[in-house]
Structure 1
């Protein structure tokens, strides 16, 4: 990236250039990812990838602030979105209070909130008070327990109509873009075409306005499971294990440190 994106440039990208979004949780990987990504998302997915939890629900606001600060430090020229964790936007008042805490304590450019028409009043309250919001519709990871698992959306005509209504409600509430997750590709395409702001897909087919992946998934670092929508661009786990095994071998056999590594 040669120049940091803005809310305006992100909105203007629709129909011109697909947006590249990827998660980041620390300064090191943020600095590596920022060269290719348009947007870095500090996702509450870190609760699974790095905290070893079974879902995202127990992620806390302070946890998100900590990791967002790390990402901001590692990629100061990137547009950075911070996930609002479960329970931090139950009411519009609590949402604003918590989003203000994120903005005052990090350099994040935006927060992300899960939910459609039912959360539109909260999105509007935030945007009316100076908080930039990225929406999130379709499969909602924070609702996985109440829905009994990760279920693909848009399988029925009713679900498709609800998603269209969700997208329009979030757009009208003032969101500058939105993520659509785990949705049938034809429905996601229709959703993207129905609004004027970018719709970034994850497990939602190619006919949207951009894509987002969890970096530890696409680099093959997370081994517990691989979602259907993930393409592994690197066998990272194997490479790391091989490197560490080589290091251990050289240590136990007195091959490291060699003379060139010694003062």
Structure 2
């Protein structure tokens, strides 16, 4: 059984190793020589497992050092390299410009994962917007993703996947928590059947809370937290070790 301290050590080590993995992709873009994000899922898990046993001081220094290396790699990337396509561990094609919001997503989401007082509501609104846009843009690159529209009631953010899907409304923080699989959709609503979005007023006009469930249709960098209804979610520690649902994505379902 993983206690809270060990879980935080795993999260912090995961962030540091993920940062190095994104830097390797920048090296690929800069040199043109294929440089895998990770050599294997097992290698990724072993790195995180070993690193999580370190003292807190070493963990913090590791996060700072990897951040500085990534920052340097971004700032010194030649102009031509920004157009060079690389592949994520899952096979998803990316260019360096899309790795920067992915790095931001890693930082902010896993900061909230530490359960140390920082929540999705503390994420700066502009950063939250970039993360949501990054999450949905990743979905747009995949086939057979069900349509969905989200509307943030506090920031005015609207995003749409396809057409004709349910509209999910709530605060940007609640939407972000749901989209990353950290919450079950509490605080979010969707129109009741037959009601127009513009006429919803009050809880009796709101439809059921949306619930994400897991599929293995495509990849995500965010640890795999959403799960199929009726099945137990993966152990949180396994999520950060890289073992749970290595090709998972969130697929939208409204009960």
| TM-score, normalisation: structure 1 | 0.27
Q: Which protein is bigger by CA-based radius of gyration?
A: 1
| TM-score, normalisation: structure 2 | 0.28
Q: Which has the higher helix share?
A: 2
